[in-house]
Structure 1
């Protein structure tokens, strides 16, 4: 990792974790140079990257300060974006781009353990916080579950809540976290350049008896989302515990 990337990563983690709270001034350039054994160039590069992400406010003759408060979400609450955002006193939003019944791509069909001729219900939505686009969500349900979506308004709120109310046993989730380049749709809907890096969370949701019911590919703007992994020896077989933190514009 290059030196300016090390400085950027360290400062970003302090902001996301709350060690550096909103309105808190960052250490001076001179102090950061000493801390990281760096010259002013790498430190300035790191600060410029944080400013570009909207995490710090800078200006001529102005001490850089933290500009946004991260919103943290436990991984256990990843199932419902709407419920999480509402619990924070913010306004969740969703806009449906597409809903269709069709044969899904091979990778999705395999994840859902579909027969060769089976179809799925695919849904694409843009999710927002306080009217700011945060994530594009591509979801596929096994057809018996997905058919229930046509009795719901996908723009009205949480699909998971609607399915649970109809007796669907959405019980277990497996999450895979990585990065992906924004395609044309991602870029247009999230307001980024094509090819820009996005944080991706892929999920397989199963019933209480282990049957795959849903798979999802959720892509977040990296300036508005982060993942925090908490490790504890006392957790034993449960392994690491992860949470999501987000930095939407509404914290201005």
Structure 2
């Protein structure tokens, strides 16, 4: 199925913002220029610009040319479990560097979150996640030993963790997410190139199998000048119809279901 023209236009502009071809404060091409470039009418162009405005990437209104307002990456809640999938959806290149993958006794706080006994064996994973080569998030994931053991035989810098787990038979179910702010500790500061104590967006996730058994608990910390979270809803609790999600990147890579990379 072909991608609608307005989505192609919107993604092209997001990519230009992400790469810096359109810097913060720069004007976007005029509607006439976009119509000529894409060989289309003004309707798809205006729909694309409306999507970028709703995402907060561009500003300007009737009679004023749209300009780039920010270039922060947007992480929508419908892809929160998959950092890699989200990055690919916005046309960015996800990256990861595995710093640790270890089998050890579960710390008390993690054991409590996962419904385990303190000291039960778990697999803990520490990775630095990036978007287009720019550090964006420190990922600390804990898996039950039965689920996580498969990761010791996989290249965690080359593939999706969840893809490995699903291929091994894991049936992913619902997840609960708690989002707050936390000051960067020394490890966060070093990995994300930010001062100790600098505010980070934190997402703590507890993920279950289809039968409700907890298999993962994570603590992911994002640089807020690299990634922001978005929620889109309607009075009936369903996503707004016709919503187009996207993002722009470094200058200024999540949410509810899906699979995590």
Aligning the two structures, in what range does the TM-score lie when normalised by the shorter sequence? 0.5 to 0.7
Residue 227 of structure 1: which of 220, 224, 229 is its match? 229
* 1:196 corresponding residue in structure 2: 198
* 1:129 corresponding residue in structure 2: 131
Structure with greater helix share of residues:
1
Q: Quick check: 1:132–1:248 contact (8 Å CA) kept in 2?
A: no
Following superposition of structure 1 onto structure 2, how do residues 35-50 of structure 1 map, counting pairs within 5 Å?
none
In 2, Cα distance between the equivalents of 1:198 and 1:74? Answer: 17
Q: Give unpaired runs (5+ residues) of structure 2.
A: 1-22, 28-56, 59-66, 253-261
* 2:114 corresponding residue in structure 1: 112
Deviations 1:16-58 (A, max 9, x none): xxxxx96467xxxxxxxxxxxxxxxxxxxxxxxxxxxxx99xx
Q: Quick check: 1:69–1:247 contact (8 Å CA) kept in 2?
A: yes
Structure 1 length-normalised TM = 0.68
Following superposition of structure 1 onto structure 2, how do residues 196-215 of structure 1 map, counting pairs within 5 Å?
196-215=198-217
Q: Quick check: 1:94–1:157 contact (8 Å CA) kept in 2?
A: no
* 1:8 corresponding residue in structure 2: none
In 1, Cα distance between the equivalents of 2:251 and 2:162? Answer: 25
* 1:149 corresponding residue in structure 2: 151
Q: Give unpaired runs (5+ residues) of structure 1.
A: 1-20, 26-54, 57-64
Deviations 1:92-130 (A, max 9, x none): 100011111111221111111112441100000000011
In 2, Cα distance between the equivalents of 1:132 and 1:232? Answer: 34
Q: CA deviation at 1:232?
A: 2.4
Following superposition of structure 1 onto structure 2, how do residues 12-161 of structure 1 map, counting pairs within 5 Å?
23=25, 66=68, 68-161=70-163
In 2, Cα distance between the equivalents of 1:157 and 1:67? Answer: 34
- Partner secondary structure for residue 234 of structure 1: coil
Q: Which runs of 4+ in 1 moved over 4 A?
A: 21-25, 243-247
Q: Quick check: 1:82–1:157 contact (8 Å CA) kept in 2?
A: no
Alignment of 1:216 with 2:212, yes or no, is no
* 2:35 corresponding residue in structure 1: none
Change (3 A) 1:198 1:71: closer
Q: Quick check: 2:77–2:231 contact (8 Å CA) kept in 1?
A: no
Structure with greater strand share of residues:
1
Alignment of 1:249 with 2:250, yes or no, is yes
Q: CA deviation at 1:246?
A: 6.0
In 1, Cα distance between the equivalents of 2:173 and 2:116? Answer: 19
- Partner secondary structure for residue 197 of structure 2: coil
Aligned pair count reads 190
Larger relative contact order (Cα-Cα within 8 Å, sequence gap ≥ 6): 2
Q: What is the Cα-based RMSD across aligned positions, in Å? A: 2.8
Structure 2 length-normalised TM = 0.65
In 2, Cα distance between the equivalents of 1:218 and 1:244? Answer: 22
